Structure formats: structure tokens, C-alpha cells
Amino acid sequence: MGLSRDDVLHVAHLGRIHLSEEDVAKFADQVSSIVDYVNKLGELDTEAVEPLAHALPLRNVLRPDEPRPGLSNREALGGAPDAADGCFRVPRVIDDGTGA
């Protein structure tokens, strides 16, 4: 099954990709080859093959989520350039309309 020039241009348009005429011809051939290969795979008898969610066994590689001591307020604010009343002070980023 060959992809037409119009098919390639349509997909490029959907992806907002500008293609030269040379690229259109190249991609038409390449995508046609891929589609032909996928169609060939569809001809395989997979009746006895158990469906998989993933090709490899998965295992959780994260550390256990166990509580442990955190920073004190003083330690957390220790490197802050500006702090007040136990909080980080940052410049105003929201305009409240007062011009301040």
C-alpha cells in the first residue's frame, strides 16, 4: 500500500510541518515501507500468544516511602536571601491593580 503525495501533505499539515517536494517523495516511500511492514506483521498467527502489557517484567525501583526527619524551619530558611516571620519573602508577581 503506497502513500500518496496528498496523504503525506495532509499528515504534514496536521503536524504543522513544511515539507519540500523532495521530502514529500522521501517520506511517502519511507512511511509506505513502514505501513507495509506493519501489515505483514498483522498476518502472523498470534492466537496462542498471551497478551502483554509490557515486553519486560516491571519492578518498582523507588525507595520505600518511610517517614524520616526533615529540616527545621531555621534550617530551611538558612540559605534564603530574604525571610520574615518564619517564611520565605519573594517579590510580588501578581498585579493587584493598585500599581504598588
Assess whether pLDDT exceeds 90 at residue 54.
no
Assess whether pLDDT exceeds 90 at residue 18.
yes
75: pLDDT confidence band, cut at 50, 70 and 90?
very high
Assess whether pLDDT exceeds 70 at residue 100.
no
Q: Which of 7-16, 17-26, 55-64 has the lowest mean pLDDT?
A: 55-64
Q: Among residues of the chain, what percentage have pLDDT more than 90? A: 58
Average confidence (pLDDT) over 6-34: 92
Question: Domains, the chain, ranges and CATH?
Answer: 5-41 (1.10.20)
Give pLDDT, residue 81: 92
Neighbour-count burial of 7, counting CB atoms closer than 10 A to its CB (0-12 exposed, 13-18 middle, 19+ buried): middle
43 HSE (CA, 13 A, CB side) = 6
Assess whether pLDDT exceeds 80 at residue 2.
no
